Chains A and B, each alone.
Chain A
């Protein structure tokens, strides 16, 4: 079934009887060429590009719960490529380009909306830092624009420009950034992968790896043993737990990050606004809710819920930045588990176990990376070589001294 405007009209006129399920629910086969552990955004994107771009025919995705039940369904849906360091920026810009063509590629409406992102500037030093970042972005073609205070006043007049502590002096804008519909992304990739023969197996928890002579032979699961020539693990916050089953420790701590959404409002916020100094960022969903968040809680957690101090901190940041937010009611808040790496940057690499590959360490920024993460992981699994934009995301970069530390805070995950 292919989606099109014509199909929508036809179904509307014929009682919507022609729609079919987006993917099958197959029984697991005894063995596959490649098994992906984790049916979230990154895992499904990996399977999609394995099948579509690299022509792999025998691929399975194993998911413990249901598709998109992890962080892909719990994020704040922002896509952007406004990084600084050479190890990161080309990768995120590659991701941005994949976002721009995602809906054509998957034939699924992922509601990619390039409304722009603005990082606010409060001091001269910050303006210098953002000018440098903007230049780094322009070097890879991501585009960036430094906004004056007056320009900004015209675009987002509701901000508190004269806050005593953090007066707004300008901003750095990436016009191609924006938001996407998180569920639409996971469903689009799942459908696209399934259409190309990938078996997506839900309610199938990996309980162990079968490793003999330093080579992985398959995975033990709650639905029996599944053989595999290669196994790729993309389980985000559960990376430590899953890789421990292969006897590995990782340069990762799992932390909780909270997010919030208000009641639906008329369109008020044009794009994404980040207030780094106050630990607050906000955008508005197509449904009208203000979607916002702040920093991680700061302690190890697998609880998928946070505590009140950070709720207060985020809402104080919101009130300081845009006092009108105080008139909106908070609809709900939730937490997700972040795989916080030791330098704040991700890992896409093979492990010391032959045939076992790892995609992890996305911290609180995994959503925007979904397409490129999937593409680069598929590239690595299919060809054995890292994708050119992901070559720095090595697992051994920590011991070799090649960390990619955007914030320069060292091996302290709760500061990234």
Chain B
């Protein structure tokens, strides 16, 4: 698989390590009333979709940026990639 890195162009997926669902960026609030249940959900439960999946890849043997890659889990087709930091900033705005 070739991942279209937003800064570096097409890069071999072997340069990356895989973390999982992009929702892992949204860590629950540890001070919330139901924080324990929220963290259980965050750590253990997954959507695990067959189809389009947004997921975190770390460019470990490259520029060490985190990417949010959109990929079809039924075909391995990669539909896009963006810097996770931009996604996070965009969500904050």
Contacts and interface: CB of A to CB of B under 8 A. Distances in A.
A254 interface: yes
A215 interface: no
A238 B48 CA distance: 10
Contacts of A399: 37, 40, 44
Contact of A398 (B1, B14, B19, B44): B44
A398 B40 contact: yes
B44 A411 contact: yes
Contact of A307 (B13, B44, B48): B13
B61 interface: no
Interface string A243-254: 000000111111
Nearest to B50: A302
SS of A interface (majority): mixed
A240 B73 CA distance: 13
A251 B46 contact: yes
Contacts of A298: 18
A328 interface: no
Contact of B45 (A250, A300, A303, A412): A250
A299 B18 contact: yes
A157 to B, nearest CB: 35
A251 B73 contact: no
B40 A307 contact: no
B73 A249 contact: no
Interface string B67-85: 0000101111000000000
B55 A300 contact: yes
A241 B50 CA distance: 7
B59 interface: no
A254 B49 CA distance: 9
Interface residues on B, range: 20 to 34
Interface in B1-36: 1, 13-14, 18-21
A180 B9 CA distance: 47
B92 interface: no
Given A302-B74, A414-B18, A307 B1 contact: yes
A309 interface: yes
Interface string A276-308: 000000000000000000000011111100010
A36 B71 CA distance: 32
30 contacts: A238-B50, A240-B47, A240-B48, A241-B50, A249-B46, A249-B47, A249-B48, A250-B46, A251-B45, A252-B46, A254-B50, A298-B18, A299-B13, A299-B18, A299-B55, A300-B48, A300-B53, A300-B55, A300-B73, A301-B76, A302-B73, A302-B74, A303-B74, A303-B75, A303-B76, A342-B43, A342-B44, A399-B37, A411-B43, A414-B18
Interface of A: 238, 240-241, 249-254, 298-303, 307, 309, 342, 398-399, 411-414
Contacts of B14: 309
Interface of B: 1, 13-14, 18-21, 37, 40, 43-50, 53, 55, 71, 73-76
Given A240-B48, A254-B48, A301 B73 contact: yes
A249 B73 CA distance: 17
A414 B55 CA distance: 13
A240 B1 CA distance: 24
Contacts of A254: 48, 50, 73
A252 B43 contact: no
A411 B1 CA distance: 25
B13 A309 contact: yes
A7 B25 CA distance: 64
Contacts of B46: 240, 249-253
Contacts of A250: 45-46, 48
Nearest to B77: A303
A252 B47 CA distance: 9
Contacts of A253: 20, 46, 48
A249 B1 CA distance: 28
A208 to B, nearest CB: 16
A294 to B, nearest CB: 15
B34 to A, nearest CB: 12
Nearest to A310: B14
Contacts of A303: 73-76
Given A238-B50, A298-B18, 18 more contacts: A240-B47, A240-B49, A249-B45, A250-B46, A251-B45, A253-B46, A299-B13, A299-B71, A300-B21, A301-B73, A302-B73, A303-B73, A303-B74, A307-B76, A398-B40, A398-B43, A399-B44, A414-B20
